[in-house]
């Protein structure tokens, strides 16, 4: 009995620690991560990390020094304060919620859109220096994800159109120029006809020169289109705008352009909300469906609003696919007002598809159960494809 009670105690301690940690991670995801990088933000983030640690230590100490009682033995309960009960109950309830959510995710599996078919090509990079936690860290286990999207009534002139997507370079000390060059080269070898870059070039202004040196000479027959991400606005939006224009790329600063392939038009639009201007009007994306419409938005949080304009495909990054995932529970921190909803992969609203890329780089320098990616889309006419195996399983 004593052994069972100890095992039960240990489980309660483990569950309460995880529950408290998950709750704090959820607050970070929804309210802190999207705030501009600043000293107060760093202080709040460190404070929340510290709070997780302190809560775990409190739980452990309470478990160890519970006056000889086992942790939740009935006789011990009256000795626990109401405040302690409330805290423990809350931590355990949070743990239960995340457990149920984890189970639902596993049972339901990733969203398989019947109009899409994916293939994954490993294109790992060998760094000169070992990343932190080399055994589990997937920082450089890059993948080229090739996706076919069937669009009903696609203009015959657009059959086979290829669109490449690069996002979240975060070029710097860890995601070096060599690594990002490797990622760009592997995608450009597939010769996408249109290239979409969806932001977060660097974390610090001192890396801007190396990053934009890399992009010199990058071109695509139908053009290279760019939207800036949160880090770009924090690093220097105008400087990055100037560099993009110098390279002959098109910045889609809350506007749309039209490109033609075999006489068939495609609308390519980009929004930089909320970092440029929260809730920017979307009337530059006409909701009628007489042409293929592709929208670039760094954050997937704009998708519910964008879907009202009926784009065929919205391309986003920003979440890094959750970046640090743990077995069974999945991602811990996802910088989104919707929490983990738009973590990675495909989402559908009405006729509109959203694809959230896991991106090339990272911030901080750890990726677990979440490999980086570059993405190539191919548009084909047609009805839903037969169900398929989605390669982007969460766990």
Per CB under 5 A, residues contacting Fe ion are 168, 200
In angstroms, what is the minimal distance from the CB of 188 to Fe ion?
Answer: 21
Distance, CA of 237 to CA of 226 (rounded, Å)? 12
When the beta carbons of 98 and 169 are compared against Fe ion, the nearer one is 169
In angstroms, what is the minimal distance from the CB of 200 to Fe ion?
Answer: 4
Q: How many CB atoms lie within 10 A of CB 57?
A: 11
Distance, CA of 286 to CA of 269 (rounded, Å)? 10
When the beta carbons of 19 and 270 are compared against Fe ion, the nearer one is 270
For residue 274, whether the previous peptide bond is cis, meaning omega lies within 30 degrees of 0, is yes
In angstroms, what is the minimal distance from the CB of 180 to Fe ion?
Answer: 13
In angstroms, what is the minimal distance from the CB of 361 to Fe ion?
Answer: 7
Distance, CA of 79 to CA of 184 (rounded, Å)? 62
When the beta carbons of 168 and 302 are compared against Fe ion, the nearer one is 168
In angstroms, what is the minimal distance from the CB of 317 to Fe ion?
Answer: 6
When the beta carbons of 292 and 360 are compared against Fe ion, the nearer one is 360
Q: Is 199 helix (H, G, I), strand (E, B) or coil?
A: coil
Structure tokens at 344: 């990675």
When the beta carbons of 172 and 330 are compared against Fe ion, the nearer one is 172
When the beta carbons of 228 and 312 are compared against Fe ion, the nearer one is 228
224-226/250-251 β-pairing = parallel
When the beta carbons of 19 and 172 are compared against Fe ion, the nearer one is 172
Query: Tokens 């975060």 correspond to what residue?
Result: 170
Task: Provide CB contacts within 8 A for 334, sequence distance 6+.
Answer: 29, 319, 322, 340, 342, 343
2 φ/ψ sector (left φ>0, alpha ψ -120 to 50, else beta): alpha
Distance, CA of 290 to CA of 265 (rounded, Å)? 9
In angstroms, what is the minimal distance from the CB of 362 to Fe ion?
Answer: 8
Nearest residue to 285 via CA among 272, 269, 266: 269
When the beta carbons of 309 and 336 are compared against Fe ion, the nearer one is 336
Beta strands in the chain (DSSP E): 116-122, 143-151, 162-166, 194-197, 224-226, 250-251, 255-261, 264-271, 292-297, 313-316, 325-326, 330-331, 345-349, 352-356, 373-381
When the beta carbons of 168 and 301 are compared against Fe ion, the nearer one is 168
In terms of Cβ atoms closer than 10 Å to its own Cβ (0-12, 13-18, 19+), residue 69 is: middle
In angstroms, what is the minimal distance from the CB of 367 to Fe ion?
Answer: 12
In angstroms, what is the minimal distance from the CB of 140 to Fe ion?
Answer: 16
Distance, CA of 342 to CA of 335 (rounded, Å)? 10
255-261/250-251 β-pairing = unpaired
In angstroms, what is the minimal distance from the CB of 334 to Fe ion?
Answer: 11
Task: Provide CB contacts within 8 A for 93, sequence distance 6+.
Answer: 19
In angstroms, what is the minimal distance from the CB of 357 to Fe ion?
Answer: 10
Query: Tokens 């450009």 correspond to what residue?
Result: 188
When the beta carbons of 200 and 272 are compared against Fe ion, the nearer one is 200
């Amino acid at each position: 009995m004593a052994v069972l009670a100890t095992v039960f105690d240990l489980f309660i301690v483990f569950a309460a620690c995880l529950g408290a940690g998950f709750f704090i991670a959820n607050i970070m995801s929804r309210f802190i991560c999207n705030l501009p990088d600043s000293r107060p933000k760093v202080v709040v983030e460190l404070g929340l990390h510290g709070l997780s640690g302190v809560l775990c230590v409190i739980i452990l100490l309470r478990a160890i020094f519970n006056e000889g009682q086992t942790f939740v033995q009935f006789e011990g309960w009256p000795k626990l304060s109401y405040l302690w009960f409330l805290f423990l109950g809350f931590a355990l309830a949070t743990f239960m919620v995340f457990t149920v959510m984890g189970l639902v995710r596993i049972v339901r599996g990733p969203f398989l859109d019947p109009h899409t078919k994916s293939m994954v090509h490993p294109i790992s990079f060998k760094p000169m220096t070992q990343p932190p936690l080399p055994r589990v860290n997937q920082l450089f286990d890059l993948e080229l994800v090739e996706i076919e999207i069937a669009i009903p009534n696609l203009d015959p002139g657009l059959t086979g159109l290829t669109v490449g997507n690069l996002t979240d370079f975060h070029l710097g000390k860890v995601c070096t120029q060599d690594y990002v060059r490797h990622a760009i080269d592997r995608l450009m070898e597939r010769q996408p006809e249109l290239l979409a870059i969806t932001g977060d070039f660097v974390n610090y202004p001192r890396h801007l020169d190396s990053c934009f040196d890399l992009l010199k000479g990058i071109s695509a027959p139908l053009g290279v289109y760019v939207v800036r991400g949160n880090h770009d606005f924090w690093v220097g939006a105008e400087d990055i705008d100037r560099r993009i224009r110098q390279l002959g790329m098109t910045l889609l600063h809350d506007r749309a352009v039209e490109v033609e392939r075999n006489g068939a038009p495609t609308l390519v639009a980009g929004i930089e909300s909320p970092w440029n201007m929260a809730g920017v009007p979307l009337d530059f994306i006409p909701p009628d469906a007489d042409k293929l419409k592709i929208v670039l938005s760094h954050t997937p949080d704009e998708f519910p609003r964008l879907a009202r304009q009926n784009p065929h495909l919205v391309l986003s990054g920003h979440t890094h696919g959750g970046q640090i995932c743990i077995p069974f529970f999945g991602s811990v921190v996802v910088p989104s007002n919707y929490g983990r909803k738009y973590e990675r992969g495909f989402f559908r609203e009405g006729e509109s598809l959203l694809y959230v890329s896991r991106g090339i780089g990272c911030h901080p320098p750890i990726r677990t159960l979440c490999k980086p990616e570059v993405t190539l889309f191919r548009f084909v006419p047609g009805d839903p494809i037969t169900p398929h195996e989605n390669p982007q399983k969460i766990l």
